[in-house]
Structure 1
């Protein structure tokens, strides 16, 4: 991999006192590497561009893998007062904004559809899926949309490509629904249908990463490994639809997916063909809220049920309630959970994660930190209100996290934990 160039700028950084005669670029290399190892990742962004000497030692710290292994949570979005190529990272740890210049295409033209392992998962204006690491500037393209089973490039009367045809798939026949006309999507519209959720099994730079996408219509699942040329449809049986969320469990190397009725499926993509096992049969057909599947710090499967309502003359979509359940795999039932034992949960487009209040005192334990992730609302209200809030399980109250929340329009904000890939650059 070519050596990555990292740029960053810290907002509201306090100016150091005058130190005339001191050449900070001459600090010993070993000392700089040790300093980088204890800084919060956003601060490393800024420190790594002070001068050539600091940047060289920043790269050395990355190669050694000693940068923070437990970075604080950031909210990633595009600031209207910055260049379109710049991503803003709002750190909950410091309460400050950090700015990182991203590789092309410009960050503001992208749609953020996920974050995992220190990477942002984005879709460009032609609906191509691009994995990008803000810390290293590495970028990895995934197979093009037209390699998804029910997607075809649409041409006009003169044979010029100008968008996509999206066909419905019939689960009983595992084939196209030939009786229904396909949806006509522009190049840019496709991304709202192709990627309602995207999950990574590992750091994409590791050479062994599987990417799972949750795809309209009918909320189907497809996967591809980094380096593949096409997407593979998971169509093991007639139940493989109406999925709401997916996670990857590194312990057993399986994906776990939750359906709209609460069913949980374990999916093995490690062999020549995907294998599916029903972990929880909810024995219900009710779909009345958005559902997430989460892995607790102790390895338990959790379900989060998120209810929404509209306010301000139906212009703003907000979370009205969140209910968390532990999946009892012995009794095959759900048990409501009110205590995260000192942890806070982060949900949205990101792969859900827990953080300990002991490590990050600014967090409120037993709370769910959430952002907008309803694709239909975002698609039809791209420059409307964006929710960034914390829901407190103990008293079912909400806290608006950022006064700037209403201005986080496009791309939609997502929770993000920065990471520096270990290994050669």
Structure 2
């Protein structure tokens, strides 16, 4: 048997691996696990991570999620803590590995799929427009969602939603930012009524097909409606003119779009990815977070000629929750501030 490699050499080798392969290596033997642990403990692991497609599969349990690694073209399965991931909304993912989810009671949780760490965010009732309706025992029966924003009132009467339905009408997107001064995080939620647009925007143009429904059919079958992204419009900000200027591509960059925190990466740092391409998943407001049976719009778009490719493997993922891009991370939870 060949002698074991010294730990410092193992650490040098492991520092070149992306997180899924690093975690597999740590389970090989005691010495490899020790090298991986030391690499993380000493803060010597800073490998750039390729975004992965996060999804669930009907063939797995409700608590099992899948990561499809674009670089390795492999699927990794992860067991996550309750509440079951198959029953949550995915409303955001951060650049450092955290998902933001809404459970069946419309409560929010941050979860790191790699480490399994999970943190409950402040209650949905801390959002100003949300008021609980309780019975005599204090059990929440429904929520009232008031229809105002700032000084504008859209409807004097609040809309009543069940705890499970509130998330369909309240949440739009969540962002997680590292706060370097404290080592913690800030979570920002875009929610209804009347969610606001940020100053930097990327638009998509999509074809909508109604499947086998006839034009004179009394009602469309939502499960047969198909969205296909056919073009992405990219803009830059002209700071002097204070306006958006359309550009014709990303040159040597790659864009990841969806319900995740959007990412623009340098292709030279990720040789397995395609420059001047957009990797996209569903993020259509009112559709991706509300309908469970609809076919998902997932693929890769070439900005040079608007040609579209499907992502391997073929669509084996479940329609619910809607798949999302996530960048694997080994970061652990610090302090948290919630901005509303």
Alignment partner of 1:394 is 2:317: no
Q: Deviations over 1:278-337 (max 9, x none)?
A: xxxxxxxxxxxxxxx3xxxxxxxxx31122331242611222321111110101222221
Q: How many residues in Structure 1 have an aligned counterpart in Structure 2?
A: 321
User: Aligned residue for 1:12?
Assistant: none
Deviation at 1:54, TM superposition (A): 3.7
User: Aligned residue for 2:209?
Assistant: 311
Distance in 2 between the 1:406 and 1:39 partners? 26
Secondary structure of 1:187's aligned partner: coil
User: Aligned residue for 2:165?
Assistant: 189
Listed as ranges, the matches of 1:141-160 within 5 Å are 141-155=120-134, 160=139
8 Å Cα contact 2:25/2:32 also seen in 1:
yes
Distance in 2 between the 1:97 and 1:140 partners? 26
8 Å Cα contact 2:73/2:312 also seen in 1:
no
Distance in 1 between the 2:264 and 2:306 partners? 19
Alignment partner of 1:129 is 2:108: yes
Distance in 2 between the 1:402 and 1:417 partners? 18
For structure 2, the residue ranges without an aligned partner over 5 or more in a row are: 212-223, 335-340
Provide closer, same or farther for how the CA distance between residues 190 and 48 of structure 1 changes in structure 2, counting only shifts above 3 A. Answer: farther
Q: Out of 38, 47, 51, which is 1:60 matched to?
A: 38
Provide closer, same or farther for how the CA distance between residues 67 and 43 of structure 1 changes in structure 2, counting only shifts above 3 A. Answer: same
Q: Deviations over 1:215-236 (max 9, x none)?
A: 01211xxxxxxxxxxxxxxxxx
What is the root-mean-square deviation of aligned Cα atoms in Å? 2.7
Deviation at 1:204, TM superposition (A): 9.8
Distance in 2 between the 1:115 and 1:211 partners? 11
Provide closer, same or farther for how the CA distance between residues 360 and 190 of structure 1 changes in structure 2, counting only shifts above 3 A. Answer: same
Alignment partner of 1:378 is 2:288: yes
Distance in 2 between the 1:400 and 1:374 partners? 19
Q: TM-score normalised to the size of structure 1?
A: 0.69
Alignment partner of 1:322 is 2:237: no
For structure 1, the residue ranges without an aligned partner over 5 or more in a row are: 1-20, 220-242, 245-256, 258-263, 265-292, 294-302
Q: Out of 111, 117, 135, which is 1:138 matched to?
A: 117
Alignment partner of 1:216 is 2:192: yes
8 Å Cα contact 1:192/1:375 also seen in 2:
no
Provide closer, same or farther for how the CA distance between residues 177 and 359 of structure 1 changes in structure 2, counting only shifts above 3 A. Answer: closer
Distance in 2 between the 1:144 and 1:423 partners? 18
User: Aligned residue for 2:277?
Assistant: 367
Ranked by relative contact order (alpha carbons within 8 Å, sequence separation 6 or more), the top structure is: 2
Q: Out of 69, 72, 77, which is 2:47 matched to?
A: 69
Deviation at 1:171, TM superposition (A): 3.0
User: Aligned residue for 1:167?
Assistant: 146
Distance in 1 between the 2:285 and 2:178 partners? 25
Q: TM-score normalised to the size of structure 2?
A: 0.84
Listed as ranges, the matches of 1:10-409 within 5 Å are 28-116=6-94, 117-155=96-134, 160-172=139-151, 179-180=156-157, 182-202=158-178, 207-219=183-195, 243-244=196-197, 257=198, 264=199, 293=200, 303-313=201-211, 315-402=225-312, 404-405=314-315, 407-409=317-319
Secondary structure of 2:278's aligned partner: strand
Deviation at 1:114, TM superposition (A): 1.0
